Amino acid sequence: MDAIDLKPGMIIELDGIFYTVISAVHTHAQQRRAVIRVKCKDLKSGKTNEFVWRSDKPVNTVYVEEIPLTYLFRDSSGFHFMNTTTYEQIVLPEEILGDKVFYLLENIEVVGLVHEARVLDIKPPIFIDLKVVETEPGFKGDTVQAAKKPAKLETGLSIQVPLFVNNGDTVRVDTRTNEYVTRV
């Protein structure tokens, strides 16, 4: 596949390292060749890299199978999931999951991305409801505009929430951006 055909969400392989494409932007300067600016996330380390390629550069795309998984529990060996079609248990280390561990509640359904019988990554649901464990009280009149305050959720994730959210409230979080959506 040529670099110009890359889309967000695709998985590519460069020098034996698997990356997921975050964004691919086609740019063209005057009297120069067109280039593709590709922002990728390393699936193993979680680091974000940016590459600039000519638009006709061949790229090795990786085809992955999506399998339904249910999160069971965590122990010293890692995070335990069950394949809901074969009932096989899979243990994944924290290095593979990265920041997605903040969205794992018991019995939550996720999608596992598998390549050659190896789980590369998981995709949590787009929205997840989490309980606020710790936040400061907000007072009306603190600011002129809509203000936000930090809140710690039950899984350890810290996000910014509006002033009216209190301890014990349940909030909906967008897992793609780590942002508050609404109070549930």
Residue 142 has pLDDT above 60, yes or no: no
Domain range holding 38? 3-61
> 57 and 69, same structural domain?
no
In the three-class reduction of DSSP (H, G, I as helix; E, B as strand; rest coil), residue 15 is classed as coil
Kindly report, residue by residue over 109-125, the tens digit of the pLDDT: 999 988 888 888 888 99
> 97 and 137, same structural domain?
no
What whole-number distance in Å separates Cα of residue 128 and Cα of residue 105? 9
Mean pLDDT of the chain: 88
Select from 27, 42, 61 the last residue of a domain. 61
Select from 44, 61, 78 the last residue of a domain. 61
Q: Which residues pair with 179 in a beta bridge?
A: 174
Please, are residues 20 and 9 in contact by the beta-carbon 8 Å criterion? yes
Count of structural domains within the chain? 3
Mean pLDDT of 151-169: 92
> 101 and 55, same structural domain?
no
Kindly report, residue by residue over 161-178, the tens digit of the pLDDT: 988 889 999 999 999 888
pLDDT for res 83 = 93
Residue 141 has pLDDT above 80, yes or no: no
> 106 and 81, same structural domain?
yes
Percent helix, percent strand, percent coil in the chain, to nearest 5: 5, 55, 40
> 162 and 133, same structural domain?
yes
> 52 and 10, same structural domain?
yes
Q: Which CATH number do you get for residue 169?
A: 2.40.50.140
Which pLDDT band holds residue 144 (cuts at 50, 70, 90)? low
Please, are residues 100 and 124 in contact by the beta-carbon 8 Å criterion? yes
Say which DSSP state 94 is in: H
CA distances from 73 to 66, 80, 81, 83, 114 (A): 21, 5, 7, 14, 20
Q: Which CATH number do you get for residue 19?
A: 2.30.30.30
Tell me phi and psi for residue 82, to 5 degrees. Answer: -120, 130
Select from 108, 123, 138 the last residue of a domain. 123
